[in-house]
Each structure stands twice: as C-alpha cells, then as structure tokens.
Structure 1
Amino acid sequence: MTHSIEHSPVFSTLKVTLDAGESIIGEQGAMISMSPSIELQAKTSGKGIFGAVKSMVGGESLFSTTYTASENNSELVLAPGSPGDIIHYEMTGRTILAQGGAYLAGTTGLELSTQGSLRAMVMGEGLFLQRISGNGHVWLSCFGAVYEKQLGPGEEYSVDNSNLLAFEEGVTYQIKKATKGLFSTFASGEGFVSRFTGPGKVWIQTRSVRGLAQVLMPFMQKSSGN
C-alpha cells in the first residue's frame, strides 16, 4: 500500500494505492473516486443503542465502508465533507485521541471507540473523543489547516475545545473555562478550553465549525426574517 495527501491544505484528498487483498476502512460518504477493482462493504458500528447515540453525539458515523482491492495498483481517493487538511499518523502500538468526526480512514486492525460523558453532552463543556489504537495507519481530517505542538515533560498548553484535533494518549488534559466569571466569558467570546500537560504531541486545527456558524449566524437571521 502506498498513500499520499494531495491538494493540501484547504481541499485535501487522500489517495491510496492498494495491492490485491489489501483493505482500508473509510468514514461513511468519504469516497470520491476509485478503480473498478475496488470492492466496497458497508458495516455498522455494532455498539448497541447507547453506543450508537454516543457515537452520533461525538461526531462518529454509525456506518463505515471497507474498501478491498481485488487487483494490484488499485486506486482509491477519499476526502472529508468539510474543507481542510488531512494528517497521517502511523500507529505502532500507540493510542491517540481525536476530536469526534476527525477520523477519515484507517487500515484494518485499528480499534476505535468513543469517549465522553452524558454531562459533557448536556452541559456542552466536555469533549467527545475517538480513541484510536493498534498498529497500522490512520488519517484524520481537520477544518482549516493543522499544526502540531510538541510538549515537553510538564509543559502546559491550552487549546480551545472547538480547535482541538487530536493528541497522544500520554498527554494529560483538564477541561477548564477560558476566562473567569460570566461577564468575561461573554465579552471575550471564549468558552471551554483543554489544558494539556506533556510530554507528547497535540494537533490543532486553525478553524472550527463553531466559529464558522458564528460568522454565518447574522446572515441566517436576516434571511429567515425576509
């Protein structure tokens, strides 16, 4: 298998070339184009009702598609639904935690699960994270561009929850308010942040869906008033 990320950083696509018998698992609806020698098989998460609800709230699809090549040099092109970049991470028995909905594709053998709580869902203060572990390759998509922050032992760094893409499991985090007091929170426009403590890597996306929604809100209100 060979792979490359093309058209980066705004409208990135993932191109994978598979040999006969090789497979890759993609998020539902991610396929743009493929060779006729690629076979598709859709699967459900199989997590039960509570697990399904939790996955949906966390931005994870209930379905995934396994793409398997029946011939050598079979090409597959995938892309996320939103504009932005794609990053590749080689899993060698490691674990990363990604923002819900960030998973684009991965090789077989990886384990995915959703982490989050009912309180996080109700209060809007927590994170629903996709825990990805095992051996193989994983590709994550972001909104906007992405940059990596390498934290040293004991080094702290805060990231707005809506701009967080992923972090290595060895990095610890606490969810906090960005400012003290209701007025400061309202006036600054900042909500909850995750304060990370190293060592390890944190990936941050330069834009957020929440930020885009705030920009569009005045125009949507005008449109609905007409």
Structure 2
Amino acid sequence: GAIGRSLTSGESMFITQATGDADGGQIGVAPAIPGEIVKLSVGKQQYCLNTGAFLASDDSVSYKMRSQKLSKAAFGGTGGFFVMETEGEGDMLVNAFGDLVELTVTSDKPISIDNEHVIAWDSSLDYDIQVASGMFGFTSGEGLVNHFTGDGKVLIQTRNLHSLAEALQPFIVEKNSNS
C-alpha cells in the first residue's frame, strides 16, 4: 500500500508512527518548507488533499488514493491520475507554504483558485481543473485553476513554491565544470 501511495501521490513511501509512553509526552513535527500547520477534524467531514499537504494524523485517520478523471489528471500537474482522500475519524495535520486561508464555497458562489495554491478541500465539493481565464485568482506560470462547486470549504496557501524557485533562480550561481 505504501509503495502504491508513493507512486500515485508523490508522497514519501515511509510514514513514521510514534506512540507516547507516558502522560504529558509531546511529539514535535515540522514540514520541509516554512509555513502554517492546521489541524483538520476528520470524521463527519472528509477531505481531499493536494500533494505535499499531509503532515501527520492520529492512527485512526488515513488516506486513500482516489482516481481522477483524465481531464483533471492531465491538467493537475501535482496529483496525476490520483488525489488523496481522508478516511476514518480523528485529527490530521496539513501544512502549507506561507499562511493557510479557509475559503467558503456555496452552491450559488463557486470559486476558482490557482492550482498551485490549493491545499485541501471538503470531499463533498465537486471540482474541475481548467485553464485560467485571467479572472479572479492567483497567477502562476501554468495558468491552471481548480474550479470548485457545491457547499464546503477549501484551504489555500498564500505562497507558491514554484514562484519562489523562479524568483531565486537568477541568484543561484552554477559551478563551471572547467574551473
């Protein structure tokens, strides 16, 4: 299962399991990139997660790989043919690059969000990945947006890792192999 999740989601094949041996014990976790960490209560509400959003969870919470439509997979760029969907009941931690902002989608107010900024969304929402029309939303080099409809919440990150990498590129000195 771990190999399948790794191949389909890009997540690590290895998941560390930690168990407290004494009352009052604490475990520290941190993502690879700087940003906010948010606790999601999984159970009555289940979530879909973009690649890289999962940080940690209770052992009663897990995620499965759900196949996407071919059009979503072709445009998605992150999850490919699969998206992670939570299962179980308990707490899950997700992380983002920058701050996390919660947006509300209603049946009369759908929303389009730059694909690079989407972290997690209520699994009850319907979504489609489309080429951006230049209207509301963040901009990215790909020009792809996730269009959400229905009633629920979407978590977005305020920063874009690909944009940071592009901004840093002129300052990265490449070694000359002839030196």
Q: Percent identity?
A: 30
Given that residues 94 and 133 in structure 1 are in contact (C-alpha distance below 8 angstroms), is that contact kept between their aligned partners in structure 2?
no
Q: Which has the larger radius of gyration?
A: 1
* Larger RCO of the pair (alpha carbons < 8 Å, separation 6+): 2
Distance (Å, rounded) in 2 between the aligned partners of 1:151 and 1:136: 24
Structure 1 match to 2:165? 213
The within-5 A match list for 1:185-200 is 189=141, 191-200=143-152
Distance (Å, rounded) in 2 between the aligned partners of 1:76 and 1:225: 40
- TM-fit CA distance, 1:105: 0.7
Alignment size in residue pairs: 169
Say if 1:90 and 1:206 are closer, same or farther in 2 by CA, change over 3 A. same
Structure 2 match to 1:99? 50
Q: Structure 1: which 5+ runs fail to align?
A: 1-45, 181-187
Given that residues 112 and 131 in structure 1 are in contact (C-alpha distance below 8 angstroms), is that contact kept between their aligned partners in structure 2?
yes
Q: In structure 2, which of residues 28, 37, 42 is the aligned counterpart of residue 86 of structure 1?
A: 37
Say if 1:194 and 1:149 are closer, same or farther in 2 by CA, change over 3 A. same
Distance (Å, rounded) in 2 between the aligned partners of 1:117 and 1:152: 22
Structure 2-normalised TM-score? Answer: 0.82
- TM-fit CA distance, 1:120: 7.6
Distance (Å, rounded) in 2 between the aligned partners of 1:62 and 1:217: 30
After superposition, the C-alpha distances for 1:91-123 in whole angstroms (9 at most, x for unaligned) are 123310111111111101112123456968985
- TM-fit CA distance, 1:218: 2.3
Distance (Å, rounded) in 2 between the aligned partners of 1:120 and 1:199: 23
Structure 1 match to 2:137? none
Distance (Å, rounded) in 2 between the aligned partners of 1:151 and 1:122: 22
Given that residues 150 and 201 in structure 1 are in contact (C-alpha distance below 8 angstroms), is that contact kept between their aligned partners in structure 2?
yes
Given that residues 71 and 129 in structure 2 are in contact (C-alpha distance below 8 angstroms), is that contact kept between their aligned partners in structure 1?
no
Given that residues 55 and 62 in structure 1 are in contact (C-alpha distance below 8 angstroms), is that contact kept between their aligned partners in structure 2?
no
The within-5 A match list for 1:62-211 is 62-115=13-66, 123=74, 125-128=76-79, 129-179=83-133, 189=141, 191-211=143-163
The alignment partner of 2:108 has SS state of coil
Amino acid at match of 1:192: L
Structure 2 match to 1:37? none
Distance (Å, rounded) in 1 between the aligned partners of 2:35 and 2:12: 19
- The answer to which structure has the higher strand fraction is 1
